[in-house]
A and B are shown apart, each in its own frame.
Chain A
Amino acid sequence: MSDWARVRLHVVTGKGGTGKTTVAAALAMALARDGRKVLLCEVEGRQGIARLFDVEPLPYEERLVAVAPGDGEVRALAIDAEAALLEYLDMYYRLGRAGRALDRFGVIDFATTIAPGVRDVLLTGKVFEAYRRRQRAGPPVYDHIVLDAPPTGRIARFLNVNAEVAGIAKVGPIRKQADSIMQVLQSRGTAVHLVTLLEDMPVQETADAITELSAAELSIGGIVVNQARSTPLTATTRKAIATGSLGAAELLPALKTAGLDDLSATPGTVADGLLAGAVEHVERLDLEERLLADVEALGRPVYRLPQLSDGMDLAGLYELADALCEQAMA
C-alpha cells in the first residue's frame, strides 16, 4: 500500500543539482506499475526528461517514454507557456486567427514574460487539464501525473498561482482558472515532494520550502533523500577510523593476503591512501547522519535513494523506481 494512495498529482521539487528530474522520472515509473498510466511533465524548457530517457527533445505533445511491468505506461510532456496559451485560447475562445495575430505582435511573449503569474497559471493550467481529462467512459486518462516542478527557491511562488495573479487579475477568466487550479493543488489529491541531498544548503532549502508551502496551504508530500551514501564499514571499523585507532601498519598483512603488495606504490603508501580515503568517507557519513536527523525532524515521510556509482541511465531509473516502491512511496 502506497503512502500516497489518495494522491493523483505528484509535484516534485528540490534545489538545483539534487536530481529532482531523476526522482520525478523514477517516481513516474514506480507509479506506472500494475498497468497504470502516468504523465510526467516538465515546465522549464530544459528538456531534462528527454535527456534522461535518451529520446529526441519532447514537443508540446504527450509521448511514450517508458513502459512498466503489467502494461504500465509513462508518457512525457514538455509544457511550454506560449504553446499552452495558444492552446488555451483556441480551446475556450476559438481564437484561431486572433491567436496567431497575438503571436505575431509579440503579445504571447509579452504576456508570458512580463506577467510571470500568468505564465505560471498557463503552465500549471496544462497540468490541471491533464489531471481532469477523462476518457469517454468516465475514468481519468491518467491515473497519476508527476510534475517535475521548478526548484525549491521558486516552488511556493510557482504553485501559489492564486496569490500570484491576484495583484494583476482581480476578475476574469485567468483569475477563475487560477482559482480552480488552486483548489486542486490544495486538495488531498496533490502532494508536493521535496528532493534533497544530505548537504547543508539543499537541506536548508528543503526546510525553507516546507515553511513557504505550508503558508500557502499546499499539501506537502514526502522528502526524498537522493544519492544517500551507504558504507561497507562495520560499526567497529568506522569507530576505529573516527578515533584514529586504526593505523596503516595494521593494514599491511591484509594487503599482502589480498595480493596488493606489488603495486606501483609501496604498501605503506597504499595503506596511508586507503586510510585517508576512509577518514574522509567517515567524516562525510557523520555529516550526512546529522543532516538526515535534521531532515527527519521536519516531520515528513523520508525516502532514501542510493548513490549510483555508474551514473544515471535507464537501468538506474528502474533501480530507483524499485527503491521507491519498496519504501511505499508509490
Chain B
Amino acid sequence: MRFDVDGLLDDPATRIVVCCGSGGVGKTTTAAALGLRAAERGRSVVVLTIDPARRLAQALGLDGLDNTPRPVAGSQGHGRLDAMMLDMKRTFDEVVEGHASQAKAQQILENPFYVALSSSFAGTQEYMAMEKLGQLHAQAEADASWDLIVVDTPPSRSALDFLDAPEHLASLLDGRFVRMLLAPARGPARLLSVGLGIVTSALNKVLGAQVLTDMQTFIAACDTLFGGFRQRAEATYALLQASGTAFVVVATPEPDALREATYFVERLSSEHMPLAGLVVNRVQVEAVPALSASAAEQAAQRLADHAGEQHEATAGLLLIQADRARQRQRQDRLRKGFAGAHPEVPTVGVDALAGDVHDLDGLRRVGELLGAQ
C-alpha cells in the first residue's frame, strides 16, 4: 500500500506529524521536506528540528539559537512555514522557572545535578523535545498561529527512546528512591528504614558524601516540580495518542534501519499511537529495469572478451548498471521483508539523490518525491 503523503498533509484534521527512526536515515531532512511541502500546499506549519546539519539549518534560517520559531524565507504559496531548533537546556530551564518560585528556581538551576541533568543527552533531549512539542501545541491552540506541527525526534541510540524518556525521567524524579531521600525531611524518622541506611552509606562510599548532599538538595528543591513532571509527561503521552497526531517512521533500505522501523511500528501499535506510514529514504533508482544485475555483468564480460577496448565505455556503463541493479535487488528484498511482516503499513520510497540536501530547492525536490503518486 502506498503512503499518501499529500493526503495526510492536506487533511486539516492532521495537527501534528512526528518523524521518527534511527540515526542517519534522513529524519531531519524528511521532517523539513514535509513541513515545506505542507506549507506550500497551504498549511500554516511550524517545524521543530532537533539537530539539523549546519547547511540545512542555514537554509531554514536557523543560525540563531533562540528556542522560538522563526519564519523561513523562500517558502512559496499561500501557506506559512516557521522553523526552530530545540535548545534542550533552555527548554528545561524554562520548565523549572515556570513551576517554581524565583528563589527556588535559582537554587535548582545552580545545583550541579541539575546542570548535569539538563545538559546531558541521556533522555533529557527526548524529554525536552516532547516538552517543546507540548508548548507549540498549546500556543497553536491558543492563538491559531499554526495548524500543523512537524517534529523531528532526537538522534537517540534507539528510535524508541523518545517515547520512553519522558516517562522514565518523570518516574525517576518521582520514584521510590527520591521519595525516600525526601522522607526524613518530611515525616517521622522511622521512615528512615534500615534499607535506606544501607543505600545512603553505599552511595556515600562510591560517590563521596558531598554528592549525596547535592542530590538531596536538588531533590528537595525540585519537590514542587515532581507532580508537574509527571503530569506533563502524561499530557504529552496523551497528545501523541490523539487523533490529530500522525507518526511517520523514517528508514533507509538497510537491515539496521528497517529493524528499528519494525520495532517502532510494533511499539506504536501497542501504545495506540497513530501511525501514518513509512518513508524509505535513499532508494537506489532503477535506471534500466529491463536489465538485471547478472545480465548486465555477463554482457560487460562479453564485451571485454570479444571487443576489447573498442567498447570499454559501454562495458563500464554495464558494470555500473550491474552494481546499481544489485543494490536495488537487495533493497527490494529488505523492504519486502518489512512489508511481509507489516502489510498494513503504507510505504513510500524516496529515490537516492546524487547530492546532499541543503537548501529549499533540495527540500522541495524531496517533498515532490514524497508526494508523487
Which residues of A line the B interface, CB within 8 A?
15-18, 44-46, 48, 51, 88-89, 93, 95, 97-99, 101-102, 104-107, 109-111, 113-119, 150-151, 153-154, 157, 164, 167-175, 199-202, 204, 231-234, 236-237, 240, 246, 250-251, 253-255, 257-260, 263-265, 269-270, 273-278, 280-281, 283-284, 287, 309-312
Contact = CB atoms under 8 A, between A and B. Distances in A.
Nearest to B195: A101
B221 interface: no
A105 B117 contact: no
B269 interface: no
Contacts of B256: 48, 51
B177 A280 contact: no
Given A119-B122, A168-B112, A258-B314, A270 B198 contact: no
Contact of B317 (A116, A173, A274, A311): A274
B307 interface: yes
A254 to B, nearest CB: 4
A118 B215 CA distance: 13
B19 to A, nearest CB: 15
Counting chain A CB atoms within 10 Å of each CB, which of B300, B314, B358 scores highest?
Answer: B314
B329 to A, nearest CB: 10
A51 B257 CA distance: 13
Contacts of B312: 234, 237
Interface in B210-256: 210-211, 214, 252, 254-256
Contacts of B122: 113, 116, 119
Nearest to A208: B54
Contact of B205 (A105, A173, A269, A277): A173
A200 B353 CA distance: 13
B129 to A, nearest CB: 15
A110 B157 contact: no
B53 interface: yes
Contact of A93 (B175, B205, B326): B205
Contacts of B180: 105
A257 B196 CA distance: 84
B117 A116 contact: yes
B326 A309 contact: yes
Interface SS of chain A: helix
Interface string B192-215: 000110110111011111110010
A28 B317 CA distance: 37
11 contacts: A44-B157, A95-B202, A105-B180, A106-B172, A113-B172, A153-B155, A254-B315, A255-B314, A274-B288, A274-B314, A309-B327
Given A168-B214, A259-B299, 8 more contacts: A89-B202, A169-B207, A254-B303, A259-B302, A265-B290, A273-B287, A274-B314, A277-B285
B257 to A, nearest CB: 7
A151 B355 CA distance: 23
Nearest to A264: B290
B306 A257 contact: yes
Contacts of B176: 105-106
Contacts of B123: 113
A263 B290 contact: yes
A116 B116 contact: yes
A154 B315 CA distance: 45
B313 A171 contact: no
Indicate the member of A164, A199, A274, A287 with the most B CB atoms within 10 Å.
A274
Nearest to B51: A153
Nearest 5 Cβ contacts at the A-B interface: A17-B24, A172-B208, A16-B23, A277-B287, A273-B288
Nearest to B353: A280
A284 B207 CA distance: 52
B55 A200 contact: yes
Given A17-B257, A310-B326, A173 B208 contact: yes
B195 A105 contact: yes
